[in-house]
Structure 1
Amino acid sequence: MLFKKAVSTLLLSAACASLAQADVKVGVITSSTGPIALVGLPQKNSVPLLPTQAGDQQVKYIALDDGSDPTATVKALKKLISEENVDAIIGPSGSPNAMGVIQFAAEAGVPLLAPVGTAAVVLPMNEQKKWVFKTTQNDDLIAKALVDNMVAKGVKTLGFIGTADPYGENWSKVMGAMAAEHGIKVVANERFQRQDTSVTGQSLKVLSARPDAVLVAAPGSSAVMPQTTLFDQGYRGQMYQTHGAALPDFLKLGGKKVEGTILAASLMLVLDEVPDSHPSKKVAADYIAAYEKLNGSKPATFGANTFDAGLLLQHAIPTAAAKAAPGTPEFRAALRDALEQSHELAATQGVYNMTPRTTAASTNAAAS
């Protein structure tokens, strides 16, 4: 009996050691090429900076490029799930791409950490979206900062031009409701495709409404053309942009035509003005320094959204690993639960507080 007990103890110890040593595999899908490459490239460039250790677990990342194509996103996600047996997925880069894969991630029981703008990936919450964790500020948080600025500036009428996809549509919905609450009337509401080479018709309609201000709701390089077109047509009212334009290339591409733009985004854009006591300042500063050392340029906030996904996983993995072995459905379910319980986690974009209602970040935003 003593011999059998010793053998059992050895087997149990070996099993526990195997569980502790198993790698956690994380898929990463970015649009580092194609129309939204300005969003996806800093995300791809951030992958080497993601945490490779979470408690006793080694974390391995498998990165794929979807070329900005939603159909390719679905193929990439299915490949990561069926062939690589990943425990979680970070990505994709675009809001339409993310909306198109929620069903498949949920059916497979794989947590999806989505670094996208639209709140539609988590709202309204349902059984599928509970597998999604959004690392970008929700639209209403950014919109509040913009509307507060509009009110302070005495804006009474607003023109809106956004992408004809979940990003633009949700922004139209959120801004329309919030503007009305503050006595601001939306007098023009136009859409365009991200890949369009001209928005002359849409901008002329906005211009003819003679709004006090115009908000462009588009991510990456697609945010530039509506504003430069309006400038060329003679519009000189106040221009606003969403956090989709929070990247250095927006200024490079737009030049003088986008000077004076007001946008709201995370603290990364004004880090020097953030007090040292802010819990995210050092995290953001360290990320920026590491990214610049690796890539020779400063990161856009889009890359930080991917980096924060890695921090969320690093925080949640040990809790999940205490319940099941990586690579199993039980581990992925436990990881989902642990992510949902993330509380007061300081990262580059602010402090994350996930809830069962939204599974999205609770962070601060300010207009600048």
Structure 2
Amino acid sequence: MNIRFSSAALAAALALVLPLHAHAQVKVGVVVSATGPTALVGIPQKNTVPLLPTQAGGQSIEYITLDDASDPTQTVTAFKKLISETHVDALIGPTGSPNAMSVLQFAAESGTPMLAPVGAASVVLPMTEQKKWAFKTTQNTGIIAQALVEDMVGRGIKTVGFIGFADAYGDDWHQVFSRMAQEAGLDLIATERYQRTDSSVTGQALKLLAARPDAILIAGTGGAAALPQTTLAQQGYKGRFYQTHGAALPAFLKFAGPAAEGTILAASLMLVLPEIPDSNPSKPIVQDYIQRYEAMHGEKPATFGANVYDAGLLLQHAIPTALKSAQPGTPEFRRALRDALEQTHELVATQGVYSMTPEDHSGFDQRGRELITVKNGAWTLLR
């Protein structure tokens, strides 16, 4: 006997079987700062989204991208929209550390995994119930700071000045570096702060200059990381400049100009890829990403774009495991996805090798950094 169902009856039957908001594909929300003060970081991240994996575990992946204009308030609005209206299974972003700190609670309350391509380790450390839902695709401050402190000690530097953003990124760097410097016998003799939007840091630079430190560490991101350095150089500072991985982009070299020469920073291998041996497992992945980005956008990507690319690789790796437990669009799937991300082990990506644990949601070791300097206006591996 043939039984025929009307479309309305079939839809009603499916509604009883499928959980509310379940969908046939994995939905990923992406929030970037494609405009505003942090746009130099956010634009390559936005441009990277079309290069992210579109399939995993037999499921298609859809990305919904929103611009927060570098404003933490707009970041909150974008996150809430993606969580409550689009019902995304995971979030990539936001671009800035202060923005990421502002949305931790919303990711946690909704039970949505968040992969943040930001610098501040405070997004994932110390681990809390809220931060259990956050993961980081940028090297934690401690890994980068350790390389800089070791270089300072090796060069016989005794005194250091610090100038960093007056926000979560600068706070994190000041806290971590201060502790490491003290443990290494370095004397932090002057500390100054500035805003991402400042057009002048003359007052702060004069105070640093008066302290006469052997070296100065600048904790900024994007083109704004160049402002204290150019100002100090113009005022006659002759000591050594150190930068964080927040300065690892072409715009820093452009804006700092001759003042960048001799700068030391620690960042991913992407900055000095031609000098990296072919035996490095990340090299072919970086090469593929750069080639695809150039083919689409006509220019090389900044490392910040690669942080978003790695978020896509982490999700691609975790989704098949999560699908064994639940369907996309459900709380059960989001929790299974979070658990799968936390169990990531030895995943090779552009920024290094990820091995997450319940206590470490960044997962990098020393394979995630290279010590780099500026020579003849270009990034060069420091040997």
- TM class, shorter-chain normalised? over 0.9
Q: For the structure 1 residues 104 and 21, does the alpha-carbon distance in structure 2 shift closer, same or farther, using more than 3 Å as the test?
A: closer
Equivalent residue in structure 2 for 1:303, among 302, 305, 312: 305
Q: 1:139 matched to which residue of 2?
A: 141
Could you tell me which residue of structure 2 aligns to residue 327 of structure 1?
Answer: 329
Residue in structure 2 matched with residue 365 of structure 1 by the alignment: 369
> Is 2:29–2:65's contact at 8 Å kept on the other side of the alignment?
yes
Q: How do 1:121-200 and structure 2 match up within 5 A?
A: 121-200=123-202
Distance 1:213 1:291 in 2: 36
Paired residues for 1:63-142 under 5 Å: 63-142=65-144
Residue pair 2:306, 2:350 contacting (<8 A) in 1 also: yes
Distance in 1 (CA, whole Å) between partners of 2:255 and 2:234 is: 14
| 8 Å Cα contact 1:21-1:56 kept in structure 2 | no
Select 1:245's aligned residue among 236, 247, 266. 247
**Cα contact 2:23–2:328 (8 A) shared by 1:** no
2:26 corresponds in structure 1 to: 24
Deviation at residue 366 of structure 1 after TM alignment = 2.3
For residues 356 and 126 of structure 1, what CA distance do their matches in structure 2 show?
10
- Report the residue type matching 2:179 in the other structure: A
Whether the 8 Å CA contact 1:42–1:300 is kept in 2: the answer is yes
Mapped partners of 1:183, 1:103: distance in 2: 38
**Could you tell me whether the CA contact under 8 Å between 1:219 and 1:244 is conserved in 2?**
yes
Give the 3-state SS of the residue equivalent to 2:193 in structure 1: strand
SS in 1 for 2:288: helix
What amino acid is aligned across from residue 176 of structure 1 in structure 2? S
- DSSP 3-state at the match of 1:159: strand
CA distance in 2, matches of 1:277, 1:128: 38
Secondary structure of the residue that 1:61 maps to in structure 2? Answer: strand
Corresponding residue SS for 1:110: coil
Contact map agreement 1:136 1:361 (CA 8 A) in 2: no
Q: How big is each residue's C-alpha offset from its partner over 1:215-267, in whole Å with a ceiling of 9 and x where there is no partner?
A: 00011111010111101111011000000000011101111121211111011
Report the equivalent of 1:7: none
One-letter code aligned to 1:197: S
Structure 1: state its 5+ residue gaps: 1-10
Match of 1:316 among 318, 321, 333: 318
The residue correspondences of 1:1-40 to structure 2 (distance < 5 A) are: 22-40=24-42
Q: CA deviation at 1:332?
A: 0.2
Measured in 1, the distance between the counterparts of 2:158 and 2:224 equals: 26
Q: Partners in 1 of 2:252 and 2:275 — Cα distance?
A: 21
- Aligned residues of 1:21 and 1:57 also touching (Cα < 8 A): no
Q: Which residue of structure 1 aligns with residue 219 of structure 2?
A: 217
Residue 21 of structure 1 deviates from its aligned partner by: 8.4
Write out the 4+ residue segments of structure 1 that deviate beyond 6 Å after TM superposition.
Answer: none
Q: For 1:290 and 1:155, how far apart are their aligned partners in 2? A: 42
1:351 aligns with 2:353: yes
> Normalising to structure 1: TM-score of the pair?
0.94
Deviation of 1:274 after TM superposition, in Å, equals 1.7
Alignment check: 8 A CA contact 1:27 1:62 kept: yes
Q: CA RMSD in A?
A: 1.6
Kindly provide the amino acid, as one letter, of the partner of residue 190 in structure 2: A
Letter of the aligned partner of 2:134 in structure 1? Answer: V
User: SS of the counterpart of 2:27?
Assistant: strand
Q: Is the 8 A contact 1:21 1:58 kept in 2?
A: no
Whether the 8 Å CA contact 2:23–2:329 is kept in 1: the answer is no
* 2:56 corresponding residue in structure 1: 54
Aligned partner of residue 117 in structure 1, secondary structure: coil
1:276 aligns with 2:278: yes
2:47 counterpart residue number: 45
Query: Deviation of residue 361 (structure 1)?
Result: 2.6
Structure 2: gaps (5+ residues): 1-12, 373-383
**Letter of the 2:233 counterpart:** F
Identity rate, percent:
66
Aligned-partner Cα distance in 1 for 2:136–2:363:
6
Counterpart-to-counterpart distance in 2, 1:305 and 1:25: 19
Local SS of the residue matching 1:102: helix
Please give the alpha-carbon distance, in whole angstroms, between the structure 1 residues aligned to 2:280 and 2:371. Answer: 18
Match of 2:10 in 1: none
Which one of 281, 289, 292 corresponds to residue 290 of structure 1?
292
Q: Report SS of the residue matched to 1:106.
A: helix
What residue identity is the alignment partner of 2:328?
A: P
Q: Which amino acid aligns with 2:371?
A: A
Cα distance in 1 for partners of 2:275, 2:184 equals: 29
Q: Distance in 1 between matches of 2:88 and 2:231?
A: 44
Whole-Å separation in 1 of the counterparts to 2:141 and 2:28: 27
Contact 2:178–2:188 (CA<8 Å) still a contact in 1?
yes
Asked if the contact 1:280/1:348 (under 8 Å) is kept, the reply is yes
